[in-house]
Amino acid sequence: MLTIRGLNAGYGKFQVLFDVNAEVKKGKILTIVGPNGSGKSTLIKTVMGMTKVYSGKITFKNDDITGLSTHLVTKRGISYLPQTGNVFSNLTVEENLMLAGYTLSKEDTKKRISETIEEFPIVKKYLRKKCGFLSGGERQMVAMAMAMIRKPEMILFDEPVASLSPKAANEVMKKILELNKRGITVVLIEQAAKKALQIADDALLMTSGKVTYQGSAKNLLAHPELGKVYLGIKSGS
């Protein structure tokens, strides 16, 4: 569904990604793991048109989307949940949802909001509350509902549970699985590698801006060296 070929990209002249090749299959969950600073966030930001591409090609459903603006990538059917700052704290939940519909008419946005909140009880409950008053897990639910407003075919999550309590993290992960079961293709960057790999179909291991492994998540978990290298980095999680 999403194909990345020979991608070299970075920020200005600072190259972060080196000859990255990757494949995200329709309807599946791909987890991106790898140490801090290895380029995981940069990779999905590049898909969203937020970095500088030097060479290589990104295609989504066979269309070339390399270098398209974030707005246009979003319109093609990809939603992105950044690691931080994915809701406006000083706005209410409802106002955040209205903003998320920026590519739709006001009427369509309202219709989509009423449909979407049925699947997110917490979001429905706190519609008039300012996001700043919500817990981290609740804010993540709002961000997910925002991502769903435009009926995406694929959602890119950047460490959605990194700063959450175990309980909230479980709820968010459960929701992500639920969305996937309903046909949404998921890309999930996750530091808690083991857990993420257990729920994923496929995995991508990045080190120093390069792809060190791409294949089934199960194989990565079982891989004697890669598993050790990776779990060595995140020992205890």
Sites of contact with ligand ADP (CB under 6 A) = 11, 14, 16, 34, 36-42
- Pick the closer one to Mg ion by CB: 91 or 162: 162
Going by C-alpha positions, the residue among 180, 234, 186 that lies closest to residue 33 is: 234
Query: Which tokens is 123 given?
Result: 């979001």
Q: Binding partner of residue 39 among Mg ion, ligand ADP, none, CB under 5 to 8 Å per kind?
A: ligand ADP
Which residues within the stretch 41-80 sit at the binding site for Mg ion (CB under 5 A)?
41
- Pick the closer one to ligand ADP by CB: 20 or 113: 20
Query: Which tokens is 53 given?
Result: 């591409």
In terms of DSSP H, where are the helices of the chain? 40-47, 70-76, 93-100, 106-116, 121-125, 136-149, 166-181, 193-199, 217-222, 224-233
Minimum Å gap between C-beta 215 and ligand ADP is 19
- Pick the closer one to ligand ADP by CB: 21 or 127: 21
Q: Name beta bridge partners: 76.
A: none
The structure tokens 């066979």 sit at 62
Establish if 185 lies at the interface with Mg ion (CB under 5 A). no
Angle between helices 106-116 and 93-100 (to 10 degrees): 120
Minimum Å gap between C-beta 88 and Mg ion is 21
Establish if 31 lies at the interface with Mg ion (CB under 5 A). no
Site residues for Mg ion per CB under 5 A = 40-41
